[in-house]
Amino acid sequence: MDFDYYNYGDLQMVDADGNDVIRDADVDDGTVHGGDGIITPDGVQRQLNEVALYENTVITYLDFNGTEQTWTMTLTVWQLGNGDAVLRINESINAQWPADFYPGNITSITVGTWDGVEYGSGSVSANDDQAVVVCFTSGTQFKTLYGEVMIEDIQVGDMILTLDHGYQPVRWIGSRTLSATELGTSPNLRPISIRAGALGYALPEQDLIVSPQHRVLVRSQVAERMFGTKEVLVAAKHLVALDGIEVAANMTEVTYWHFLFDQHQIVFSNGAATESLFTGAEALKAVSPEAREEIFTIFPGLRADPEAGTAAVRLLVPGRRARKLAERIKCNGKLLVA
């Protein structure tokens, strides 16, 4: 199988019935499933025609040290209605990703052997739910030893108030600006607006804008019934069914900021409890190579083992269950933070 390389890009999956499955058009028997599809980087929704798996595919990539490595895996190929092919790395098929693998560092792909199975759909994998950026926006205020400080004025060494461990020093801080063009072609990166009071009484104290995957603290009896713990962390984008939480569609440009402590922490952003950057392997893949190198300089153990010392401060609730939690809280007329 030969491919003419086009580009990397962000795809938006359209799952019309919310079953975490993108059904193909099944061109073999003529059946077309309405609603499901793929929005390509040019903003056009396209039909998914065929799904195939290719075993013993060899991916060549550069690790975090710039050394060439290979990974033999099973590649998922989606053929779209316009003839384009989307190459996907699905962790439900490839359970063990190399810790130093980052899709943006792929140098070549040698497609293996078709497994001979006619598939009727593609699944939404956990890695499809990963954000490119997990952070706050300019203007967000944090409680420090010196009072409220906006994130763009925070410096390494500043002492930020955390929920569990008092004031902790910032070890690293970084930012990324997304233009109107980038937001237009990658709508999944549009920020989420959380209106003042939408999380609970006076929480946040003023409107808070975060990236879609930035997790906020939910404290609820509903969470305790679902997960066995009252406090959990949920990505902002999974809370948009609730009043006062929505995609900030009117923003034409956004600067995202993220900062690190020695451990994953819960901080107070505009008064609301939210997470600091979590340095799991996926988070390290989400920052630029330059930012990643800065982090490795500060935390050298992460270079050899990206999961070293990365215990999440609270349970991280995945997409489908997070949306169910939000739905139950809304139906019960409860607050997210009670």
pLDDT in tens, 47-82: 777 888 888 999 998 876 778 889 898 888 888 877
- The more confidently predicted of residues 27 and 227 is 227
pLDDT in tens, 252-285: 899 999 899 999 999 999 999 999 988 766 666 6
Own/partner long-range contacts of 212-215 (Cβ < 8 Å, ≥24 apart) = 212/131, 212/188, 212/236, 212/237, 212/247, 213/129, 213/130, 213/131, 213/133, 213/134, 213/237, 214/131, 214/134, 214/135, 214/136, 214/274, 214/275, 215/134, 215/274, 215/275, 215/316
3-state SS, residue 164: coil
* Residue of 242, 252, 129, 134 lying closest to 194 (CA atoms): 242
Full set of structural domains in the chain with CATH? 12-127 (no CATH), 136-331 (2.170.16.10)
Q: Is the pLDDT of residue 1 over 70?
A: no
Tell me 57's DSSP state: E
